[in-house]
Copies of this chain bind each other. A is one copy, B any other.
Amino acid sequence: MVTLYDVAQRAGVSIATVSRVLHGHARVRQDTRDRVLAAVEDLGYVPDGAAQSLARSRKDVIGLVCVEHSGLDLRQYDSEAMSRLFYDGVLRGVEERLREDSWSLLLTFLRDDEELVAARLLALSGKVDGLLIGEGVVPPAVMARLAKRLPVVAVAGDPSLRGVDVVSADNWSGAQAVAEHLIDVHGARRLFHVDGPASAPDAVMRRAALDVVVAARPGAAVTGRYEGRFSFHSGEEAAAVLLERPGDLPDAVLCANDQTAIGLMRVLQAAGVRIPADVAVTGFDDIFPASLYDPPLTTVHQPIRELGQRSCDRLIARISGPAPRRRIELLPVELVLRGSCGCPPGTSERREVARRKPGAVPPAPRPPPVRAASR
């Protein structure tokens, strides 16, 4: 391995000078500089990251931890699982920010049932300057311990998390908007809800909003609920539940996300149910296939990439500056109307959704999910 000493020796200078040339922190005579650069080039010298980090006591690395829900089957590689698309978006956002400065990104996937969550996160915390933690559930105690050691930002996390910044999409307002649209515009009364995992803050928010909207509208009711796992399969399962009482379909099915909605629609359609004529269906997230499906899926567009960017901005601010006040940031979402909710075919309208006041995030009421009867 080529070190500073090798370069210094070859250029006939001291290691300090080499370092100075490499960083331009101080002036070095032109011919010395040239000699050093030539030596660097000749030897193919690249500074050792570990040594630099140690000397600067700054690693220039941030960690992105993708916490995935344990409900998902490990074996079955859900190429469509929510988390993949979600984290991919976040990743891009983060990367964009990072490349501007010269940070690096350390990536880790974690299942939230992993016994080792705490251990792995702690170990990770020794390798980075700050942590971005996604979605899933990390025990609050672990969070607190981490937050004491270094800056932590929860991406799409539970806003009630203590001690860490939270950046999230405005799930509440999004869910509210869909529910209102279905009830007020399309006259839906009997709603079925395909929920996400109870461990997902996003899902919890969406459910809470739905319940509030329904409660405020006499005549409307959530007539059934199925706890899914944000996946295509969950949607299929939920559809099977609905088809057990084919004469008794709800007016609308609100799905926890697009994958779920698509899975559901496929099974329903295969059974002869017409969408939206017989049942309206909505998703959440606005992933790529949503607009491709027949009928195109009405959904809520989440600014996932931006989520990554903002989280990253905040983390870097915390790392480099004196700690700003702890903050919860809520990004606005859009209601995307397409055909599956009953809007005329060909409709494709994006509507800004009024933004919920960040401060007003409620510690969402959490009734235990009413599992649909059988299975």
Judged by a CB distance under 8 angstroms, whether A356 is at the interface is no
A293 at the interface (CB under 8 A from B): yes
Do residues A126 and B46 form an inter-chain contact, with CB atoms below 8 A?
yes
Is A262 located at the chain interface by the 8 A CB criterion?
Answer: yes
B54–A50 CB distance below 8 A:
yes
Q: A284-321: contact bitstring with B at CB < 8 Å (1 yes, 0 no)? A: 00011100111000000000010000000000000000
Chain A, 114-152, CB within 8 A of any chain B CB: 122-128, 145, 148-149
Judge whether B109 and A127 touch: CB under 8 Å.
Answer: no
Q: Chain B residues with Cβ under 8 A from A125's Cβ?
A: 46
Pick the contact of A127: B54, B104, B262 (CB < 8 A): B104
B80 and A92 contact, CB distance less than 8 A? no
Whether the pair A145, B288 counts as a contact (CB closer than 8 A) is no
Q: Min CB distance, A197 to chain B, in Å?
A: 20
Q: A145 to B44, Cβ gap below 8 A? A: yes
State the number of copies, please: 2
Contact B91 A305 (CB under 8 A): no
Q: Quick one: given A44-B145, A148-B44, A149-B44, are A104 and B124 in contact (CB under 8 Å)?
A: yes
Task: Decide if A107 touches B109 in the complex (CB within 8 Å).
Answer: no
B108 near A104 with CB under 8 A, answer yes
CB distance from A53 to the nearest CB of B (A): 3
How many residues of chain A are within 8 Å of chain B by beta carbon?
50
User: Within 8 Å CB of A54, what residues of B?
Assistant: 48, 50-51, 54
| A50-B59 CB under 8 A given contacts A91-B107, A108-B104, A109-B95 | yes
A292 touches which of B89, B148, B266 (Cβ 8 Å):
B266
Contact: A109 with B99, CB < 8 Å? Answer: yes
| In the complex, residue of chain B having the shortest beta-carbon distance to the beta carbon of A114 | B99
> In the bound complex, what is the Cα–Cα distance between A59 and B59 (angstroms)?
13
A288 touches B79 (CB 8 A): yes
Report Cα–Cα, A53/B109, bound state, in Å.
22
A186 at the interface (CB under 8 A from B): no
Chain B residues lying within 8 Å of A123, measured Cβ to Cβ, are 46, 102
CB distance from A313 to the nearest CB of B (A): 18
Asked if A77 contacts B305 (CB within 8 A), the reply is yes
Q: What residues of B have a CB within 8 angstroms of the CB of A51 in the complex?
A: 50, 54
Minimum CB–CB distance for A284 against chain B, Å: 15
CB-nearest residue of chain B to A91: B107
Residues of chain B within 8 A (CB-CB) of A161 are: none
CB distance A47 to B105 under 8 Å?
A: no
Whether A88 sits at the interface, judged by CB under 8 Å, is: yes
Report chain B residues within 8 Å CB of A262: 292
Q: Which residue of B lies closest to A286 (CB)?
A: B79
Do residues B109 and A106 form an inter-chain contact, with CB atoms below 8 A?
Answer: no
Known: A79-B288, A104-B108, A288-B289. A127 touches B88 (CB 8 A): no
Write the residues of chain A forming the contact surface with B, with a CB cutoff of 8 angstroms.
1, 44, 46-54, 57, 59, 61, 77, 79-80, 84, 88-89, 91-92, 95, 99, 102, 104-109, 122-128, 145, 148-149, 262, 266, 287-289, 292-294, 305
10 interchain pairs, CB-CB under 8 A: A46-B149, A49-B59, A49-B127, A51-B54, A52-B126, A61-B127, A84-B88, A95-B107, A102-B123, A104-B124
Nearest 7 pairs between A and B by C-beta? A50-B53, A49-B127, A50-B54, A49-B126, A46-B126, A289-B289, A80-B288
